[in-house]
A and B are shown apart, each in its own frame.
Chain A
């Protein structure tokens, strides 16, 4: 928790994610306005803000689940454009975990995990299953490999979803409110998995309302409101000494 760390110790000078002057509209609605954010390799960013502030839309622009109309998004040195090649290249390196897990219900846990490595990375099935077993152990549910997602609890499903993303060996992980759809007693096990992932040095962008998690693992916290980034700061400063009026109001409401 030492503020903006890891910026210099990366091998490459290329930032993991660079968003510059990005604007996005949904029809006439200006949903993202002049977004500027650079994320260094190994950095953990937590994005918070009231609902409808554009947090999810912003991180979905990083793996092109959403397009943008102005500015630029560069992920691991690749400029995201309409070009399918750049999109494929980025998606291979960026893992994503969704609020509603988005596991494939017709496939077993093992098949969920090995699908992308086999079809996208062209990994032999045996090797993909080995990788999958490794990550299932890491999220502590190795015994569930043969089950279908519908047979697991919400917390277990979300941990499978995290393992599924990790099986592609991504350089960057995006989390879109990963604990919002979980029963209260399941939240802790998922957060614990994410903390461990952060400790392993993964570059992470996490949209969440879990302020305890933000305090514990974030290098920087990004606060958004009405489609704009309002404040970026290290957690210690952010919580103890917010600068913007809007941040102060938000924190007073949730803490």
Chain B
């Protein structure tokens, strides 16, 4: 080997990597105390937690009042100097928070709607659920029709009419979000395709719509839908207040969705279009079978992100007089029956927990999808 030449005489067998310290102490040292900066940040984090957790724990659980019929239960007294969250208030008003003014004897219809919606969501989103195509038909066609009949009323089945002005609480928040999410995706896809179309009229319309809607706040869209729209249409067929807000939210979300989908479309290489065209596929076949399945796959995290934003934006419908979940809390917290120093804080804490749990679940889902996609198209 001294002359720079070499011929291998035996193969080197594959060996496992040198052992890494997997013990807890080793992990701590490696991740939390590896250097002065790391040690400093670790201590700072502990300090923040120590300063944050005990008061929260005290307010939400340890000092909280769980039972009671009115404000007396949640007022500080000599024998109970510190009063935390007044959960008794939330428990007593929970039906109002969930159903709004929906007639008490008809609330099973709302419960059934929640159940049907949950089935649809799990069917579409869970990776283990079978037959996605049937699930899509159920979610996008069957569910909307059944929901309208169930919630609004359908005389042939003996379901009495319940005006949308009586709807409220979680029901309205879920309906507005679901309608916004369900309609924004197909509308957004069409707008995104329109924006990339070679037909000038289609492209111009898409660009104007997207840029106009994205250029104004949701509140403006809602005001226009509820105040200005009736000025332009005959009074006799002026549509329902909730319906107007739903249309406004759906169109608003569609404009954002269009840009999300467009980003996905732009990530698909030209070769995919050419491969499809060379095989003789039509435009819609190419888009539906080749381009969109790939583009939507990589856009799922961003779609969920848009939906999280939309879910929180639904609180703005209160501005046109619709009783969404946050608005029911707003109405209940000023009720003299429960007037205590902690009532408002409790109501807002309850709202925060509700919105956080919903959004957190959505983002967990996006995360799991991302992880599944990271493995590529192998199975």
Residue ranges of A at the interface with B (Cβ–Cβ < 8 Å): 63, 65, 88, 91-92, 94-96, 98, 100-106, 115-116, 119-120, 148-151, 164-165, 168
Within 8 Å of chain A (Cβ to Cβ): is B378? Answer: yes
Q: Which 8 A-B pairs have the closest CB atoms?
A: A102-B275, A116-B279, A96-B278, A91-B280, A102-B271, A120-B280, A92-B280, A148-B377
Q: How far is the CB of B281 from chain A (nearest CB, A)?
A: 6
Q: Which residues of B contact A164 (CB under 8 A)?
A: 279
Within 8 Å of chain A (Cβ to Cβ): is B103? Answer: no
* Contact B285 A119, beta carbon cutoff 8 Å: yes
Known contacts being A98-B271, A102-B271, A104-B290, is A115 close to B279, with CB within 8 Å?
Answer: yes
* Contact B279 A120, beta carbon cutoff 8 Å: yes
* Contact B279 A105, beta carbon cutoff 8 Å: no
Checking A63, A101, A106 against B377 with a beta-carbon cut-off of 8 angstroms, the contacting residue is A106
Q: Which residues of A contact B156 (CB under 8 A)?
A: none
26 pairs of residues in contact across A and B, judged by CB atoms under 8 Å: A63-B277, A63-B278, A65-B277, A91-B278, A92-B280, A96-B278, A98-B274, A98-B275, A100-B271, A102-B271, A102-B272, A102-B274, A102-B275, A104-B276, A104-B294, A105-B294, A105-B377, A116-B280, A120-B279, A120-B280, A120-B281, A148-B377, A148-B378, A150-B376, A150-B377, A151-B378
The docked-state distance in angstroms from the alpha carbon of A93 to that of B271 is 20
Within 8 Å of chain A (Cβ to Cβ): is B282? Answer: yes
Residue of A nearest to B376 (CB): A150
Q: How far is the CB of A192 from chain B (nearest CB, A)?
A: 23
Q: Select the residue from A104, A115, A151 with max chain B CB neighbours within 10 A.
A: A104
Q: Select the residue from B279, B281, B297 with max chain A CB neighbours within 10 A.
A: B279
Checking A88, A104, A119, A150 against B272 with a beta-carbon cut-off of 8 angstroms, the contacting residue is A104
Q: Which residues of B contact A106 (CB under 8 A)?
A: 293-294, 297, 377
Interface of B is mostly: helix
The docked-state distance in angstroms from the alpha carbon of A63 to that of B276 is 12
Q: How far is the CB of A187 from chain B (nearest CB, A)?
A: 20
Residue ranges of B at the interface with A (Cβ–Cβ < 8 Å): 271-272, 274-282, 285, 289-290, 293-294, 297, 376-379
Q: How far is the CB of B100 from chain A (nearest CB, A)?
A: 44
The docked-state distance in angstroms from the alpha carbon of A106 to that of B281 is 17
The docked-state distance in angstroms from the alpha carbon of A168 to that of B379 is 28
* Contact A119 B274, beta carbon cutoff 8 Å: no
Q: Which residues of A contact B290 (CB under 8 A)?
A: 104
Q: Which residues of B contact A95 (CB under 8 A)?
A: 278
Q: Which residues of A contact B379 (CB under 8 A)?
A: 148
| 13 further interface pairs, Cβ-Cβ under 8 Å (given A65-B278, A98-B278, A151-B378) | A88-B280, A88-B282, A91-B279, A98-B274, A102-B272, A102-B274, A106-B377, A115-B289, A148-B379, A150-B376, A150-B377, A150-B378, A165-B279
Q: How far is the CB of B113 from chain A (nearest CB, A)?
A: 34
Q: Select the residue from A100, A101, A106, A149 with max chain B CB neighbours within 10 A.
A: A106
Residue of B nearest to A174 (CB): B278
Q: Which residues of A contact B272 (CB under 8 A)?
A: 102, 104
The docked-state distance in angstroms from the alpha carbon of A59 to that of B345 is 72
* Contact B275 A104, beta carbon cutoff 8 Å: yes
Q: Which residues of B contact A91 (CB under 8 A)?
A: 277-280
Residue of B nearest to A147 (CB): B378
The docked-state distance in angstroms from the alpha carbon of A103 to that of B290 is 10
The docked-state distance in angstroms from the alpha carbon of A63 to that of B278 is 7
The docked-state distance in angstroms from the alpha carbon of A240 to that of B325 is 85
Q: How far is the CB of B82 from chain A (nearest CB, A)?
A: 59
The docked-state distance in angstroms from the alpha carbon of A168 to that of B275 is 13
Q: Which residues of B contact A115 (CB under 8 A)?
A: 279, 281, 289
Q: Which residues of A contact B280 (CB under 8 A)?
A: 88, 91-92, 116, 120, 168
* Contact A116 B378, beta carbon cutoff 8 Å: no
The docked-state distance in angstroms from the alpha carbon of A89 to that of B294 is 27
Checking A63, A119, A151 against B289 with a beta-carbon cut-off of 8 angstroms, the contacting residue is A119
Residue of A nearest to B286 (CB): A119
Q: Which residues of B contact A151 (CB under 8 A)?
A: 378
Residue of A nearest to B297 (CB): A106
The docked-state distance in angstroms from the alpha carbon of A212 to that of B379 is 39
The docked-state distance in angstroms from the alpha carbon of A149 to that of B272 is 13
Residue of B nearest to A90 (CB): B280
The docked-state distance in angstroms from the alpha carbon of A148 to that of B375 is 12
Q: Which residues of B contact A165 (CB under 8 A)?
A: 278-279
Q: Which residues of B contact A63 (CB under 8 A)?
A: 277-278
Residue of B nearest to A99 (CB): B271
Residue of A nearest to B278 (CB): A96
Q: Which residues of A contact B376 (CB under 8 A)?
A: 105, 150
Q: Which residues of A contact B278 (CB under 8 A)?
A: 63, 65, 91, 94-96, 98, 102, 165
Q: Which residues of B contact A148 (CB under 8 A)?
A: 377-379
Residue of A nearest to B276 (CB): A104
The docked-state distance in angstroms from the alpha carbon of A104 to that of B294 is 9
Q: How far is the CB of B270 from chain A (nearest CB, A)?
A: 9
* Contact A168 B377, beta carbon cutoff 8 Å: no
* Contact B281 A116, beta carbon cutoff 8 Å: yes
Q: Which residues of B contact A120 (CB under 8 A)?
A: 279-281, 285
Q: Which residues of A contact B279 (CB under 8 A)?
A: 91, 115-116, 120, 164-165, 168
The docked-state distance in angstroms from the alpha carbon of A167 to that of B53 is 66
